[in-house]
Structures are given as structure tokens and as C-alpha cells.
């Protein structure tokens, strides 16, 4: 009987605690920590220019052009990227990045 009494008290504790003032939950839960609200200025602006020979997708961030995807009518697509922000675009292969294995000299004589 003495062992049964603490068990009954523990079982009745949640029901007793719920009798206090309850407040409704907010309609929209707050975002998780570290998640900022959507900012349209951070999203890239994409402009698509279609021509007979090619389709160009121009990617801009804060009004500055930083990447162009060129899809020719015949052949694979390629990317032109402004690496330094100086307006000089170089062709880069984003789909298959170049992997350079480490090349150490183990022994020489």
C-alpha cells in the first residue's frame, strides 16, 4: 500500500498541474533559431534571354551580373562566371568540377 500511494500521486500530478491558467498556442509557430525571414534582396534575380541559336540565363545579385548560363541550340550548356567581380567572365564547368588528386613526392634519387 505504501508503494502504491506515491505511484497514484505521480499519476495524478499532471491532471492537478493542468488546472492552472492555460494560454493558447500562437497561430503560427516561430521559425527555428538561425532561420532569417525571407529577404528578396538576397535571392538572385534571373533573366532569361531566348534567341534562335541559344538561351542565356543571367544571374544577378544586388543588381550585379555574376554568372551566365548559356544553352546553345546544339551542344551542351556552359557557364560564364565572374570570379573577381571585375566584369571579366571565364568559362567554368560547374557540372563536372576538376578534381586534382594530391601529388606528393614519396621518393626521389
pLDDT digit string (tens) for 61-108? 888 899 999 999 998 889 999 888 888 888 886 666 667 677 777 887
Q: Identify the pLDDT of residue 54.
A: 94
Mean of all residue pLDDT scores within the chain: 77
Dist. CA 67–CA 82, nearest whole Å: 6
DSSP β-ladder status, 64-72 and 54-61: antiparallel
Q: Identify the pLDDT of residue 30.
A: 67
Using CA atoms, how far residue 32 sits from 27, 35, 41, 74, 80, in Å, is 15, 6, 21, 46, 36
Q: Report helix, strand and coil shares of the chain as percent, to nearest 5.
A: 15, 30, 60
Residue whose cell numbers read 500511494: 5
Give me the domains of the chain, ranges plus CATH numbers: 45-92 (2.20.130.30)
Confidence of residue 10 (pLDDT cuts 50, 70, 90): low
Residues 18-31: what's their mean pLDDT?
A: 67
Q: Quick check: pTM over 0.75? A: no
Amino acid at each position: 500500500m505504501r508503494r502504491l500511494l506515491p505511484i497514484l500521486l505521480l499519476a495524478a500530478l499532471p491532471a492537478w498541474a493542468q488546472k492552472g491558467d492555460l494560454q493558447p498556442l500562437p497561430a503560427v509557430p516561430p521559425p527555428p533559431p538561425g532561420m532569417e525571414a525571407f529577404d528578396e534582396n538576397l535571392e538572385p534575380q534571373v533573366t532569361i534571354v531566348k534567341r534562335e541559336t541559344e538561351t542565356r540565363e543571367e544571374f544577378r545579385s544586388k543588381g550585379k551580373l555574376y554568372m551566365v548560363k548559356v544553352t546553345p541550340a546544339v551542344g551542351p550548356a556552359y557557364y560564364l562566371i565572374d570570379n573577381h567581380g571585375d566584369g571579366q567572365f571565364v568559362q567554368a564547368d560547374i557540372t563536372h568540377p576538376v578534381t586534382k588528386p594530391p601529388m606528393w613526392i614519396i621518393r626521389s634519387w
